[in-house]
Structure 1
Amino acid sequence: MSEVIEMILIIIIVTLCFLMIPFNLQPNAVIEARKKFDIFIRLYDKPYRHNMREYDRRFQIFRSSLNKIAFLNVHRMENDTAIYGITQYADLTDQEFLQWNLSVLKHQMGPGQILQEKITPLDKFIIESSSAEMKDAIIFTRAKRSLQISDYLPKVVDWREKNVVPAVKSQGNCGACWAISVMDTISSLSTIKKKQPNVTDLCIDQVINCAGNGNYGCDGGDTCRLLEWLQNEQIVLNTLSDCPTTLSTENNPACKFGKVNEQKFLTVGSFSCVSLVDREHLMLRYLATRGPIVAAVNAISWQYYLGGIVQYHCEGRYEDLNHAVEIVGYNLESNIPYYWVKNSWGTTFGDHGYIKIEIGKNLCGIANRVSFIELV
């Protein structure tokens, strides 16, 4: 009897020992995250690799990014749907990403400026856009019907195949998306209109450093105000090969441009700055018959974009617009119809510098503020 009791006690003690050991067959989440982070900082050559304090701070942000990425992929039910993952921005907070890569695409008065009584075309647009929801409610049913694609429109349009789309740019730490998107679109439209065999890059620095009308260079600008400036001043644009040196003084840049051949590039004759919410068929029509267009977007959720078609997690409110892009085509044959959108964060972003956005839902605010450009 005593032997049986002794055996039971031994079994109980051994069982308790196993229960007290933190036994886990799953890999430690922190260890796995750190392995990914170490690969990440080597891959993108992050400068804080040997700075332990900054390393630890960025690692915590990186772990938070991993959770966000998992959330973004929850709705991924189809192979075509956007997929999110670790990108070069995975060690940035939302605020840092917004500050370094995006900006608010609305007019802001510069130092010393006072409010003028004269209302410019952009001010008029901003005023009108505030009542867009009311107007959309009135025409909602008709607009939804009109989104049905006309038979005469091609099912697939990609202006890159015509060699009229400039290469993807990288704006770096310069908030120049407003200039890059407009200048690249003008370059495309000029090539199409003049029936040239290949596209020629324009001198984007000419606009970044010299555009007036409420634009502030690398500190931000506005596509509509830029187009208004180009039109009013009848600016003759330099090609990249003729790009002059921009001299800077201590206080402000002094723009110096040599004489340019006015036949090289056309000037801006007219442009639109309109809301096409629930009327995206007009965007498709222009893309099919005229060429690329400029759009303001909300790109805050693009921080982790790897590829696929954006269908979720991209708010479309006008007040959230913070980036400018060039739309170069569309695909209506895909299970999920989408736009081809050229970004300005280099070719390592998304699909070789491009992002696909579903058509017809004003995703990322892509239809809130659209510019069609006519050259003369």
Structure 2
Amino acid sequence: MWLTSFTMPNTVERSRKRCCIEFLCCTLLLLFFIPIRIKNLDEEEIQFQNYIATYNKSYNLSEYGERLKAFKHSLENIRQLNLNKTSNTAKYGPTKYSDMLPQEFHELKLLPDVSNQLQRILLPQYFNLNSDEDSSERIKQSVSRSIPEKVDWREKNVVTKVKSQQSCSACWAFAAVGMIESVNAIGSGKLQSLSVQNIIDCAPFDGCDGGNVCALLSWMKRSKFVISKESDYPLTLRNGKCRKMSTEGVHIHDFICKDFVGAEEQILYFLAVNGPVAVAINALSWQHYIGGTIQFHCDGNPSKLNHAVEIVGYDLTKDVPHYIVKNSWGEDFGDNGYLYVAIGKNMCGLAYEVAVAII
């Protein structure tokens, strides 16, 4: 017993020394090897590490290399977009989409067939022509009427909050429903959030795979479709079976869908008199937008239209007069979900297909 009780402390002491040595080695590894690895990162990969932390991204080992490659490509695009910029032009930088190549971004967020849809919906059978001509009388009066220098319907509490379409390519539904929400609120004095999902599921188009604002308004008018409240028909962001709802909701009385290229004063008139409008647009260069007014780097060719947005106002008092554009990519994109696009240049092709809802 005496020998056993005497040797045990030696064993314990040796174990403690071994633990101390292992702990010291681990500490040295942390202090020595990790800083060397960080020093070996190039500047762009350091930016990528910061980007991952900022946007709470996570990738597996194989994804990391591909996302880093895409991010470096984005940094070069951002550099080009920011060349020769002034204080009035748009600003570009890393966004939540900057770990994608442009084609990936196009496939995830944009519509591939808007230009072809535009040609189809301009065919007469998509419109009630007599009614459209009656509504167009309002356009003819616009030239002789003065409009305010600034209109921002958000300040009147008739614009619902920015939503996120995520990977559901139903921008057309978000833009149309947002416009109808606002025009209805202007007329009724009551702002209510309407169901985008109701449109995705029930309109005779491709739901999360595509659609068109003008064709939607035409169908809604002909069918006397009533949009349900969002609380009754919540957003799921996937194609679903149309559920019949009660007649409580909102329907449109009429609509206008026209090409205002070279006549953007008409867009301003409708924004001032009737409320927000919805437009088809080319948003490919928006991947890295972080603020300011877009007046360059945004192709206005009608063959490049790939997105739909709601315009909720304008400001003619600025050095670069601009539209106030409500997007559907969430409040964490752009200026709290909004962008600003220069007036009078058909910038991004926004004047090719302008939709106006009349409630």
What is the TM-score of this pair, normalised by structure 1?
Answer: 0.76
**Could you give the per-residue CA deviations for residues 265-312 of structure 1, whole angstroms, max 9, x where no partner exists?**
3x2222122110110000001111110001000000000000000010
Matched, 1:87 2:112: no
Aligned CA distance change for structure 1 residues 151 and 205 (closer, same or farther; 3 Å) = closer
Preserved contact between residue 106 and residue 222 of structure 1 (Cα < 8 Å): no
Determine the C-alpha separation between the residues in 2 that align with 1:337 and 1:244.
37
1:140 matched residue in structure 2:
none
Matched, 1:231 2:221: yes
Superposed counterparts of 1:65-84, under 5 Å: 65-77=74-86, 79-84=87-92
2:188 matched residue in structure 1:
194
Deviation at 1:367, TM superposition (A): 0.5
Deviation at 1:358, TM superposition (A): 0.4
Aligned CA distance change for structure 1 residues 161 and 202 (closer, same or farther; 3 Å) = same
Determine the C-alpha separation between the residues in 1 that align with 2:114 and 2:154.
27
- What amino acid is the match of 1:190? N
Preserved contact between residue 195 and residue 235 of structure 2 (Cα < 8 Å): no
Matched, 1:259 2:246: yes
Structure 2, unmatched stretches of 5+, are 1-38, 127-139
Determine the C-alpha separation between the residues in 1 that align with 2:347 and 2:125.
20
2:207 matched residue in structure 1:
217
Determine the C-alpha separation between the residues in 2 that align with 1:366 and 1:162.
24
- What amino acid is the match of 1:35? I
Higher helix share: 2
- What amino acid is the match of 2:265? H
Matched, 1:55 2:79: no
Determine the C-alpha separation between the residues in 2 that align with 1:186 and 1:245.
17
Deviation at 1:226, TM superposition (A): 0.9
Deviation at 1:220, TM superposition (A): 0.9
SS at match of 1:208: helix
1:11 matched residue in structure 2:
none
Matched, 1:36 2:44: no
- What amino acid is the match of 1:95? Q
2:109 matched residue in structure 1:
101
Give the stretch that moved more between structures: 219-228 or 159-168.
219-228
Deviation at 1:195, TM superposition (A): 2.6
Indicate the structure (1 or 2) with the bigger Cα radius of gyration.
2
Preserved contact between residue 165 and residue 184 of structure 1 (Cα < 8 Å): yes
**Could you give the per-residue CA deviations for residues 89-135 of structure 1, whole angstroms, max 9, x where no partner exists?**
11101110000000032556xxxxxxxxxx97533499xxxxxxxxx
1:276 matched residue in structure 2:
260
Superposed counterparts of 1:323-338, under 5 Å: 323-338=307-322
Structure 1, unmatched stretches of 5+, are 1-27, 109-118, 127-145
Deviation at 1:258, TM superposition (A): 2.9
Preserved contact between residue 187 and residue 201 of structure 1 (Cα < 8 Å): yes
Deviation at 1:45, TM superposition (A): 2.5
SS at match of 1:268: coil
Aligned CA distance change for structure 1 residues 125 and 356 (closer, same or farther; 3 Å) = farther
What is the TM-score of this pair, normalised by structure 2?
Answer: 0.79
Preserved contact between residue 315 and residue 363 of structure 1 (Cα < 8 Å): yes
